[in-house]
Amino acid sequence: MKALIYGAGPLGSLYAGRLHLAGVEVTLLARGQRLADLRQHGVVLEDAFSGSRETYPVPVVEQLGENDPYDLILVVMRKDQSKDILPTLANNRYAHTILFLQNNPAGFAEYIKALGAERVMAGFPSSGGERNGPVMRVMPMDMVPMPVGEVDGRITDRTRQVAALLKRTGKKVEIRQDMDAWLVSHVPAVGVFAGLYAADLDAGRYARTPDAMLLGVRLREESLKAQAAAGIPISPAGFKLLPWIPEPLAVAMLRGMAGTEFFQVGVLGHSRAAAAEMAHILQEYRQRVAPGGMPTPMLDRALEHIKGTRPPLPEGSSQMAMNWRGVWVMGAALLSFIAFIRYRRR
């Protein structure tokens, strides 16, 4: 199978390098300085945790032509940028499968209209990274499974073939029949970090500002409720439990995470590079859940911070009252369980 990866950022480069290593005939499309870096250095990947580097001589091109004979195109680009390449993708006569690996809460209608339903697949790269000149610092491949699937929910021979190809990168791949619901649900999951923009994209300031962390926690809670009200399934089903995490515990978890290398690369690095994408997907999410009629004030407030129309919170701000009810409920449940165990032992 001959594959083209459209998008030469950290994740596009990661999959290009690993497919090349697996013996797949893969080409990477890049432009400008990134194209020049690739021609001079090759694909240079640095493990964000260990610091080890790998270099792959992946072939690069500057454009996709009408008669370029690719079997598969992986679009590894931000959602707010991919609309511009749809005419180019549509003009290519050979690629019968175009897999979009990106955030996308809006659904697939625009892609289907431009390309035809039979050509479109959806997925999510399930990794993170950041640029450092010609070097792409990336998260390990085995941290989180990659979901992929057909837009109509069927599992076909093509689905299995694409999944098998992606597994050759060392990534665990999960074939899903609910990619639309999964991609919609993923927005609240990443939206919990939107409070970073309220802390001026400073991890230390974020960890010291309870209101910034609580903003993201409440954004997640209200968004999942709005999604359910709009009749959009929450997927994976475990996400339904997220609003039940007591706010003090959720904030403590975010505070602890803020000092990790995972947070620095996978969350903070991406947030700095992709503010426009975050604003775009939150706006698309808001439009998608609007038919349910539930307000999303925390999402609206986060958008203002992302766009810069609302200034960052003062460092240490704790004006939002924390809801401790969940802690008391968990404490009462724990005490009841201990009492039950003691009773059974008598």
Q: What is the pLDDT of residues 173-214, one digit of tens each?
A: 999 999 999 999 999 999 999 999 999 999 999 999 999 999
Is position 83 within any domain?
Answer: yes
> Do 220 and 297 belong together in one domain?
yes
> Do 228 and 212 belong together in one domain?
yes
Is position 227 within any domain?
Answer: yes
Residue 339 is predicted with a pLDDT of 47
Q: Tell me whether residue 54 is exposed, middle or buried, using C-beta atoms within 10 angstroms of its C-beta: 0 to 12, 13 to 18, 19 or more.
A: middle
- pLDDT one digit per residue (tens) for the chain, 346 residues: 899 999 999 999 999 999 999 999 999 999 999 999 999 999 999 999 899 999 999 999 999 999 999 999 999 999 989 989 999 999 999 999 999 999 999 999 999 999 999 999 999 998 888 999 999 999 887 778 999 999 999 999 999 999 999 999 999 999 999 999 999 999 999 999 999 999 999 999 999 999 999 999 999 999 999 999 999 999 999 999 998 899 999 999 999 999 998 898 889 988 998 899 999 999 999 999 999 999 999 999 999 999 999 999 999 999 999 887 654 444 544 444 454 455 455 5
Q: Which domain holds residue 115?
A: 2-177
> Do 39 and 135 belong together in one domain?
yes
CATH number at residue 97: 3.40.50.720
Is position 321 within any domain?
Answer: yes
What value does the mean pLDDT of the chain take?
A: 92
Structural contact between residues 16 and 38, judged by C-beta atoms closer than 8 angstroms: no
Total residues belonging to the chain: 346
Is position 232 within any domain?
Answer: yes
> Do 207 and 145 belong together in one domain?
no
> Do 8 and 73 belong together in one domain?
yes
Is position 144 within any domain?
Answer: yes
Is position 345 within any domain?
Answer: no
Q: How many Cβ atoms sit within 10 Å of the Cβ of residue 308?
A: 11
> Do 138 and 23 belong together in one domain?
yes
> Do 287 and 169 belong together in one domain?
no
> Do 186 and 308 belong together in one domain?
yes
Name the domain boundary from 129, 158, 177.
Answer: 177
Tell whether pTM > 0.85: yes
Name the domain boundary from 132, 160, 177.
Answer: 177
Is position 341 within any domain?
Answer: no
> Do 200 and 257 belong together in one domain?
yes
> Do 256 and 221 belong together in one domain?
yes
Name the domain boundary from 152, 177, 202.
Answer: 177
> Do 155 and 43 belong together in one domain?
yes
What is the C-alpha to C-alpha distance for residues 5 and 26, in angstroms, rounded to an integer?
A: 7
Domain count, the chain: 2
> Do 120 and 204 belong together in one domain?
no
AA identity, residue 184: V
Is position 208 within any domain?
Answer: yes
